[in-house]
Amino acid sequence: MANISFYGSHNAAVAVESDGHLITVIEIERFLSIKNAGYTQYLPSYTRPFLIRHLLEYIEEKHGILAFETCYYLNTDAYDEGKFTHYQEYIPAQKYVNCLHHLSHAACGFYQTDYEKALIVSFDGGGNDGYFNIYLARDRSGIDLLEKFDLDLGFPYMSFGDYLNDIQKEHALSIGNLVYPGKLMGLCSYGKLIENWLPRFEHYYRCKPDGSNYRKLLEELGEKINLTFDPQNRFVGQVAWDIAKTSQIAFENVFLEMVQPFLDHYPDFPLILVGGCALNILLNTRLKETLNRPVFVPPNPNDCGIAAGMILNHIKPEKAMDVTYAGIEILDKNTLMTYVEDKRGNQLNLTTLAKDLSDGKIVGVVRGPSEHGPRALGNRSILCNPAHPDMKEVLNANVKNREWFRPFAPVCRLEDVEKYFHFSGESRWMSFCPTVREEWRERLQAITHVDNTARVQTVTQKQNPWLYQLLGEFEKYSGIGVLLNTSFNINGKPLLSRYADAIIVFEQTHLDRLVLADYYFTK
C-alpha cells in the first residue's frame, strides 16, 4: 500500500511513495502560483479544503492511488474560524505519524546519495527540533543526532536584505525571509570584506535566536561599526555591498566554527548540507574547495524537501533515490493541441532550436514533469546564448523583471565542465559557484558574475537526454558547449505549471521562442 507525507509550513509539499519508490512531490507553490506558499502555517493558503481535494484528485488521476497506509506529517494544524483543524486528517490513511523537521531534512539529503556513511548538517530558521543540528549516518539503516545548537544563521542572514537599497523591499519580513538570501549572495560579490567589521558581524551571528530580536541586534551592530540600520533609510552603493560581503564571510566563519570539531572527529565521512541555509552556494563552494572530502547538497535542501525527507526516512532506500524531476506535470496538459492550432506551433526540431539559440533568440522551455526544488534544470527553463552581447541586461530588464545585479546560471555537459570552469565533478543542481576559466570569461559574459564565478549546472545523457543533446547541437553552431539557464517564471512567481502561463509570458515579454512538450512556437 502507498504512503504519503504532508508538510504544511512555507514551501509546503506533499510526497507519495509506492512500492518503495518516491513517485511524486507536489509543491503547493506550483499549484497556487504563489512562491514559497504554505498550506496551514507561514504564508498559508486560504483555500485549504479546496486545495487538498485537488491534490488528492491529482494523485488519483496520475497514479491511481485513493488511500494510504500512513500519512507522515508536520506543521499541518491551523485555526479556522476559531476551531483547531488537523488538516492531515483530510488525507485518507490508516495511521498518522508526526515527524521532525531537521531529521526529515537530513534524510532528504542522505538518501539521495549512495554514501554508506555521512556527516550531515541541517541548518535554517528553525523547526520543531531546533535550528542547527548535526547528524551521523553510520550506514543506510538510519540517522543519529550528534548535536543540536541553539544557533539560527538563517534569519540573521536574510535580515540585511531589508536594509540594502539594491534589493527590492518586500512588504513583510516573512516574505523577505525566503527571497532576500539569494539576492544578498548575488549582491555581496560587488562588495569587499571590511576587516574591522568582521568580529562584530560574527558576534551578531552567534546571538541566540529569539524570533523578534533581530532589529535590536542590528541596531547594536550598527552602533559598533558606526552605521545606522534603518529600514526606511536603506544603505546605497558601496557601503551596502560591503555590508553584504562582510555578512557573508561572517556567516561562513561562524558555520565553520560550529562544524569544524565534527569534521575533525569524522575525517573520512562525506559532508551533506541540508536546510534552507544549504542554498548558500558561496558557503557550499568554500567547503568543496577547502575540505578534503565529498560535499553533497541535494536539489531540495530547503523546506520544499521536508515532505520528500519524511518519505525517504520511512523507505531508507539501499540506493540513491533521484527526485530531480519528481515534481508535478503540467496542470492544463489537455490544452496543448489547442495552443498548437491557435498559435501555429510546429513539431520541435532540435537543429532549428540550436540555430535559433546561436543567433541570440531567448527560448522558454516547458517539457516533462517539473523539477523538484527551487532550481530550473531544463524542464521549466529559459535558455539563451551566454555569448550574445547584453544578454544579461536584456533578461533582467525585459524578461525576468528583476534586480540589475542578479547573475544567471550556465548549464553544460558534465564532460565539459572542466573546460569552462575551475571545477571537477558534478554540479547537477546548481549547488556550487566555481570560477569561470579566464580564457572564457569575455565570451561567456552573460553567465560570468562580477567576481568571475558562475552557479553551474552539469548534465549527462542519462539525467536529461533532451537538454544534453541540445547542448551538443548548440555547440556545433556557436562553438561553445554552454547555455544560459534561468527559471521559467517572472515577477517573483514560482516555476510555472500551466501552458496558459507560458503563453502569457511568451506574448508579454521579450521571449522569442517557446517550447511546449514537442512543439515549437515563434513570434
What is the crossing angle of helices 101-110 and 306-315, to 10°?
70
What local confidence, expressed as pLDDT, does residue 143 receive?
98
Spatial separation of the C-alpha atoms in residues 496 and 510, rounded to whole Å:
17
What local confidence, expressed as pLDDT, does residue 205 receive?
97
As given in the structure block, the three cell numbers for residue 425 are 565533478
Spatial separation of the C-alpha atoms in residues 213 and 202, rounded to whole Å:
16
Domains parsed from the chain with CATH numbers: 3-98 (3.30.420), 112-300 (3.30.420.40), 333-522 (3.90.870.20)
Backbone angles phi, psi at 85, to 5 degrees: -115, 130
What local confidence, expressed as pLDDT, does residue 148 receive?
97
Spatial separation of the C-alpha atoms in residues 498 and 502, rounded to whole Å:
7
Strands 83-86 and 77-80: antiparallel
What local confidence, expressed as pLDDT, does residue 43 receive?
79
What local confidence, expressed as pLDDT, does residue 130 receive?
96
Per-residue pLDDT of the chain (523 residues; tens, 9 = 90+): 899 999 999 999 999 999 999 999 999 999 999 999 999 988 787 788 889 999 999 999 999 999 999 999 999 998 777 778 899 999 999 999 999 999 999 999 999 999 999 999 999 999 999 999 999 999 999 999 999 999 999 999 999 999 999 999 998 877 888 999 999 999 999 999 999 999 999 999 999 867 667 888 999 999 999 999 988 889 999 999 999 999 999 999 999 999 999 999 999 999 999 999 999 999 999 999 999 999 999 999 999 999 999 999 999 999 999 999 999 999 999 999 999 999 999 999 999 999 999 999 999 999 999 999 999 999 999 999 999 989 999 998 889 889 999 999 999 999 999 999 999 999 999 999 999 999 999 999 999 999 999 999 999 999 999 999 999 999 999 999 999 999 999 778 999 999 999 999 999 999 999 999 999 999 9
Q: Please report the beta strands in 385-512, taking only residues with DSSP state E, as ranges in sequence order.
A: 409-413, 457-459, 482-487
Indicate the residue type of 485: N
445: nearest Cα among 385, 357, 398, 375: 385
What local confidence, expressed as pLDDT, does residue 212 receive?
65
Asked if 285 contacts 449 with a C-beta cutoff of 8 angstroms, the reply is no
Q: List own/partner pairs for 195-202 with CB under 8 A and 24 or more apart.
A: 196/225, 197/225, 197/242, 197/246, 198/246, 198/249, 198/250, 198/253, 200/224, 200/225, 201/246, 201/247, 201/249, 201/250, 202/250, 202/253, 202/254
258: nearest Cα among 96, 149, 130: 149
What local confidence, expressed as pLDDT, does residue 156 receive?
95
Q: Cell numbers 497506509 correspond to what residue?
A: 69
Spatial separation of the C-alpha atoms in residues 185 and 206, rounded to whole Å:
20
Spatial separation of the C-alpha atoms in residues 506 and 363, rounded to whole Å:
9
As given in the structure block, the three cell numbers for residue 341 are 492550432
Length of the chain in residues, anyone?
523
Write the CB contacts of 31 (distance below 8 Å, at least 6 apart in sequence).
51, 54, 55, 328, 331, 497
- Helix, coil or strand: residue 235: strand
What local confidence, expressed as pLDDT, does residue 211 receive?
62
13: nearest Cα among 46, 55, 47: 55
CB half-sphere exposure, 116, CA atoms < 13 A: 1
Spatial separation of the C-alpha atoms in residues 300 and 176, rounded to whole Å:
19
Q: Cell numbers 532528504 correspond to what residue?
A: 108
- Helix, coil or strand: residue 279: helix
